Amino acid sequence: MNLALLPRIRRPSALRLRRAVQWGALAAFLALLVAARRGGAPPSLANLPMRLDPLTALSHALAARVLLPGSALALLTLALALLFGRAWCGWLCPLGTLLDIVPSPRPAAQRAFPETWRRAKHFLWLTILAAALLGNLTLVVLDPLTLVIRTFGAALWPALERLVTAAERAAYALPLLHPAVEALDRLLRPAVFPVEAPLYRAPILYASVLAAILALNGLAPRFWCRYLCPLGGLLGLVSKVGLVRREVTAACTRCGACARVCPTGTVRPDRDYASDPAECTLCLECREACPHDAIRFPARPSPAPVAAYDPNRRTALAALGVAALGVALFRSDRFSRRSPLIRPPGARENHLEARCVRCGLCVRACPTGAIQPALLEGGLESLWTPVLVPRLGYCDYSCNACGQVCPVEAIPPLGLEEKRRAVLGRAYIDRNRCIPWADDRPCIVCEEMCPVPEKAIVLEEATVTDAAGQEVTLQRPRVVEERCIGCGICEYKCPVNGEAAIRVFAVEG
């Protein structure tokens, strides 16, 4: 081996290694998300990325007052931060990688933002934890992993499925292509896409939120990671005592190359090109750019110096105050007394609002699209918590995937038999619109579909005179209250146009 060549190979390869790890982590993250659908990867593997997230694990523990053994994985990420600072952000975070892909203005065109803005992310995670202490988890929607899971699960992946289906349909018009389309379809379904794709509400909203975060890159590279990301803030604080950190040696000629390439803008020309480990993602771009090999990453056991934007007592108090006020406002919201939402099996009894980290894995796992992220129907506090929308999908009697995949047991991990007995709500028939009740025409679809072995919908025979004066014998459905589990398949399949003539409502409590 030619030793003289080593340094030249070594430097770019470290950077390439980081990029390879980033792409690999993003690919693994998305693959696990795709496989999180029922019948894919084992649930404890599918929810592994979420369980690595210390911000959601910590806020869940505070809000639910429970320590879950499964959440101990998040300690790994904290340990990583203690060793390598915010390497999570630079090497592993799927949102960080997406932000690296999105173009940013060249260094010369970049505006300088006040360093104090960096405090915003600290304020955010402190507020999240303070609110969690008060039993509220609404702001966890800003966690980067939940953002990406929600956006891919309920917007981008279904949209991709639509594109693929449209392409398949177009190609299938040519008989010559039939074998190819069939082979492709067998490959894709059900492994990658569902055979019958669920629909989601407001997918463009989720896509827009992600697009906005990516668009902030137009102001500065990784704008989100520098100023806003609450997980980045939490990891940044830990990184203050991180072991491996960037150091500039005496070989530095103050050329400024490192400051120009730093994606988080933490290399400070006014401080001898030093950086803050709470902001450095160990991306190694500066090391690559340095013409004099003056940048090292040695282990330093002493804490990093305090920065002006570090969270202080005042930040913590402000966060606590804002959290308390916010939670009080939520408590004065009408939804705090009686929520009209139908929750996934077992979740209502489990006080889902104080446990759910809004990651949307259950939305992704649900094979029928029954579980949707809540919009405002349960108030802002419940935003993006899972809710059942029977007109879009039903709770499949053969499925208990949501409780299995939930990383924090907000939806309890019920066995299939237990889940079949879990009551989500109750169906009510609108006799003014139900076909045999209102129109004296036969229809038994709800009874036919009811999966309860004894049938929670029974048919009563009635002989009536219809609008045309004809005597007809009809079967009319009735709901047997104590048998109905509220799965919603009756509402989903009801052939009446618009709102169904049989609808499920959440049980009180």
The residues that touch other proteins, with contacts defined as CB under 8 A, are 38-39, 165, 168-169, 172, 181-182, 185-186, 189-190, 194-196, 367-368, 394, 396-399, 441-445, 447-455, 459, 475, 489, 493, 495
> From its phi and psi, is residue 351 left (phi > 0), alpha (psi between -120 and 50) or beta?
left
Three-state secondary structure call for residue 427? strand
| C-alpha distance from residue 110 to each of 261, 266, 318 (Å) | 11, 14, 31
Tokens of 323: 């959290």
Return the residue matching tokens 């480990």: 277
**Least separation in angstroms between CB 169 and other proteins:** 4
**Least separation in angstroms between CB 414 and other proteins:** 16
Nearest CA to 103 among 223, 196, 11, 186? 223
Check: CB of residue 341 under 8 Å from CB of residue 387. Answer: yes
Nearest CA to 56 among 395, 370, 328, 409? 409
How big is the CA angle at 494 (ends 191 and 427), to the nearest 5 degrees? 100
Q: Between 80 and 399, name the residue whose CB sits nearer to other proteins.
A: 399
**Least separation in angstroms between CB 496 and other proteins:** 10
Nearest CA to 14 among 257, 295, 252, 300? 295
Q: Between 22 and 368, name the residue whose CB sits nearer to other proteins.
A: 368
> From its phi and psi, is residue 41 left (phi > 0), alpha (psi between -120 and 50) or beta?
beta
Q: Between 65 and 169, name the residue whose CB sits nearer to other proteins.
A: 169
**Least separation in angstroms between CB 456 and other proteins:** 11
Nearest CA to 343 among 387, 382, 384, 402? 387
CA 234 to chain centre: 18
For the chain, the 3-state helix, strand and coil shares in percent, each to the nearest 5, are 50, 10, 40
Backbone angles phi, psi at 101, to 5 degrees: -75, -40
**Least separation in angstroms between CB 448 and other proteins:** 6
**Least separation in angstroms between CB 359 and other proteins:** 23
Q: Between 38 and 119, name the residue whose CB sits nearer to other proteins.
A: 38
Q: State how far the Cα of 263 lies from the Cα of 282, in Å rounded to an integer.
A: 10
Return the residue matching tokens 């690595």: 52
Which letter does DSSP use for residue 116 in this model?
G
**Least separation in angstroms between CB 444 and other proteins:** 5
Q: State how far the Cα of 454 lies from the Cα of 107, in Å rounded to an integer.
A: 69
**Least separation in angstroms between CB 199 and other proteins:** 13
**Least separation in angstroms between CB 325 and other proteins:** 46
Q: State how far the Cα of 429 lies from the Cα of 490, in Å rounded to an integer.
A: 10
Tokens of 270: 């006014």
**Least separation in angstroms between CB 454 and other proteins:** 7
User: Identity (one letter) of the amino acid at 154?
Assistant: A
Q: Between 285 and 440, name the residue whose CB sits nearer to other proteins.
A: 440
Q: Between 109 and 467, name the residue whose CB sits nearer to other proteins.
A: 467
Tell me how far apart the 2 most distant CA atoms of the chain are, in Å: 101
Q: Between 200 and 394, name the residue whose CB sits nearer to other proteins.
A: 394
**Least separation in angstroms between CB 447 and other proteins:** 6
Q: Between 116 and 398, name the residue whose CB sits nearer to other proteins.
A: 398
Q: Between 172 and 297, name the residue whose CB sits nearer to other proteins.
A: 172
CA 419 to chain centre: 24
Q: Between 377 and 448, name the residue whose CB sits nearer to other proteins.
A: 448
SS3 letters across 204-242: HHHHHHHHHHHHHHHCCCCHHHHHHCHHHHHHHHHHCCC
**Least separation in angstroms between CB 497 and other proteins:** 11
Q: Between 102 and 177, name the residue whose CB sits nearer to other proteins.
A: 177
Q: Between 189 and 260, name the residue whose CB sits nearer to other proteins.
A: 189
**Least separation in angstroms between CB 469 and other proteins:** 20
Q: Between 118 and 476, name the residue whose CB sits nearer to other proteins.
A: 476
Q: State how far the Cα of 266 lies from the Cα of 149, in Å rounded to an integer.
A: 29
